Chains A and B, each alone.
Chain A
Amino acid sequence: MRPDLEREYVEYVRGRLPRLYRTAYLLCGDAHQADDIVQATLTALYTHWKRASAADNLDGYVHRILVRRYLDERRRRWSKVLLGDAVPDLPAQSDHGFEDRDALMTALRELPKGQRAVIVLRFLSDLSVEATAEALGCSEGNVKSQCSRGLAALRGALGPVMIHGERNRP
């Protein structure tokens, strides 16, 4: 890669790395696997940087690779399974004695994977409904329904904590 392009890549990655790692971790819940996913995503980005950096929506592109890494490595055709998810039962009430952030992580882990991915992409990565659908390879309608179910399940699990939790924990 040309030095100037490589510098651009390094700048971009430095700016995005913490958030991408957080996204991967919230998706898979495992630090090593999150590292694997992010490493594979950003290495692939390097090899396609010239073309990718010229794209309209570079962040969307990167998230698409990242989500694919997560989904494909876990299980083939997972996104199809996501589409076929039956309405899940609300997860059991979390123990409100947990610290808030642990309660949120626990509640996230209890969500069906599709809902978890939609919640993380929409509310952590700030992807639009359209971009989330593209990243997951499903329809916008599915993103919306998964999102509302996920939010309902989180409300059910976190209830009062969700509403009264402290916002600015480190």
Chain B
Amino acid sequence: MTDEQELRDRLAAVDVPSSRIEVEGLVRAGRRRTVRRRAAQTVGAALAVGTLLSAPSVLARTGPGPTTTTAQRTGAPVATTASAEAAAAPRSCRMSKLPVPAGLKNVSVSGVDPTGTYIVGNGLSGQDFRPVLWTAGQARALPMPGASVEMSAVNARGVAVGLVNDGSEEYVVRYENGKVTKLDLPDGNWHPYPVPAINAAGDVLVNVEPQGNSGGKDSIVLLWKAGSTTAVRLPLPEGANAHDLTDDGTIIGSMYEDGLAVAAYAWNERGEGRKLDSPKGMRAAGYAGQGDWATGGLWPDGTAALWNLRTGKIVQLDFPGPGDAVNSAGWVTVAGAVVRDGEAVKLPAPKGETGKATGLSDTGLVVGHTVGAGDGRGKGPRTWQC
């Protein structure tokens, strides 16, 4: 465009309302936050004890990790001393490259099953997604029922779900043993968002809003029972959006008002919900759940939250959030970082690259990609066994 400079000038000249923000107020808020952050780190240390109690059974599936080894070798009872030793043990992760199916470019990973056997992701072709399933490290391009298929989740039996976008038509698909099945939406024109979730049983969950709406206006929550192609509308309250489905059928989500999340919730399929706690004055959104844990974000702080669904306790993680995946040991992915016991886990990467996590298994397998440290370009899908 020859008038790009004019666009620059005009964007700079758009009449914006005045802001209420003052620099002094920011400094005060920053100081308060720094104090809270120190307090949260103390909480994080306390959390480490609780988390490690469940870690051995979780990690035992693929053999003991560094933290369990300490506890098991010493034969220490599950107590504070064992946790302290374990916490001091090095937490190293080993990076591996995931192969990419021939012909696919810009491949990224979007999810991993709790056992770490199956991983789903997407290649990009222009604006369209190309679905990929990795089984025990072997990559396979999945069949395409429409112009774009965005894979979002996979369960421990290798049943995967994604979102098809084919011109004006959008729908949810399920892949099982390489066969793709369209999951029917109710009558009318619906836009599913953001992406479908699947649990161990194979039940599939997504929100839909009438085509043309945005921000979740007039949205409803749909569930397809395992094997079924007929959606059941869940009796959740108006303004409820669901983001994840745990293996016991708990729906993790949030209540939205005017397109903004106001509170995180855990519901059952009958629509009975409980609000997940948030610090005073903060709004919360629940994005993911696994086992006893749920994660999401807190605003206006913009930090990540970790809820224990059993005790109802919340830990505010001082990482620029929100949390978008969690495993049964309470590890969380937050904006590409893995946070365990309140601290970032180092994801080793070749020189000049940085690891970014997008998902976690209960076996300590972190999935994601690396980016160039200078240019931020994706360098391809990776896993880290932590």
Binding site for B on A (CB under 8 A): 1, 6, 9-10, 13-14, 17-18, 21-22, 25-26, 31, 33-36, 38-47, 49, 65, 68-69, 72-78, 80-81, 83-87, 100-102, 104-105, 119-120, 123-124, 126, 130-131, 133-134, 139-142, 145, 151, 154-155, 162-163, 165, 167-170
Are A120 and B26 in contact, with the CB atoms below 8 A? no
A134-B376 CB under 8 A given contacts A6-B27, A65-B320: yes
Complex partner residue of B302 from A68, A78, A123, CB under 8 angstroms: A68
At the interface, yes or no: B16 with Cβ under 8 Å from chain A?
Answer: yes
- Which chain B residues lie closer than 8 Å to A151 at the CB level? 1, 4, 7
Are A86 and B195 in contact, with the CB atoms below 8 A? no
At the interface, yes or no: B187 with Cβ under 8 Å from chain A?
Answer: no
Instruction: Looking at the assembled complex, report how far the CB atom of A90 sits from the nearest CB atom of chain B, in whole angstroms.
Output: 15
A86-B127 CB under 8 A given contacts A44-B320, A69-B302, A169-B13: yes
Instruction: State which residues 147-170 of B face A: CB under 8 Å.
Output: 147-148, 150, 163, 165, 167-168
- Which chain B residues lie closer than 8 Å to A145 at the CB level? 126-127
- Which chain A residues lie closer than 8 Å to B299 at the CB level? 36, 40, 73
Complex partner residue of A35 from B20, B216, B259, CB under 8 angstroms: B20
A123-B124 CB under 8 A given contacts A47-B37, A73-B261, A84-B148: no
Are A47 and B300 in contact, with the CB atoms below 8 A? no
Cα-based distance from A13 to B16 in the complex (angstroms): 19
Are B377 and A139 in contact, with the CB atoms below 8 A? yes
A68-B320 CB under 8 A given contacts A124-B12, A145-B126, A162-B6: yes
- Which chain A residues lie closer than 8 Å to B17 at the CB level? 25, 31
- Report the stretch among B28-36, B76-84, B94-102 that lies at the interface: B28-36
- Which chain B residues lie closer than 8 Å to A86 at the CB level? 127, 147-148, 165, 167-168
Cα-based distance from A76 to B259 in the complex (angstroms): 11
Are B124 and A142 in contact, with the CB atoms below 8 A? yes
At the interface, yes or no: B324 with Cβ under 8 Å from chain A?
Answer: yes
State the main secondary structure of chain B at its contact with A: mixed
Are B21 and A139 in contact, with the CB atoms below 8 A? no
- Which chain B residues lie closer than 8 Å to A44 at the CB level? 33, 301-302, 320
- Which chain A residues lie closer than 8 Å to B12 at the CB level? 22, 124
- Which chain A residues lie closer than 8 Å to B26 at the CB level? 13, 39, 42-43, 46
State the main secondary structure of chain A at its contact with B: helix
The chain A residue sitting closest to B12, CB to CB, is A124
Q: Give the 8 A-B residue pairs with the shortest CB-CB distance, closest first.
A: A46-B30, A134-B376, A31-B17, A124-B11, A40-B302, A21-B19, A77-B194, A40-B300
At the interface, yes or no: B88 with Cβ under 8 Å from chain A?
Answer: no
Are B318 and A74 in contact, with the CB atoms below 8 A? no
Are A46 and B301 in contact, with the CB atoms below 8 A? no
14 pairs, CB–CB < 8 Å, chain A vs chain B: A10-B23, A22-B12, A31-B19, A68-B320, A72-B297, A80-B194, A84-B127, A101-B10, A101-B14, A124-B12, A139-B106, A142-B127, A165-B10, A169-B10
The chain A residue sitting closest to B283, CB to CB, is A73
At the interface, yes or no: B128 with Cβ under 8 Å from chain A?
Answer: yes
Instruction: Looking at the assembled complex, report how far the CB atom of A134 sits from the nearest CB atom of chain B, in whole angstroms.
Output: 4
Are A38 and B30 in contact, with the CB atoms below 8 A? no
Instruction: State which residues 257-303 of B face A: CB under 8 Å.
Output: 259-261, 285, 287, 297, 299-302
Are B11 and A75 in contact, with the CB atoms below 8 A? no
At the interface, yes or no: B380 with Cβ under 8 Å from chain A?
Answer: no
Are B30 and A1 in contact, with the CB atoms below 8 A? yes
Cα-based distance from A119 to B165 in the complex (angstroms): 24
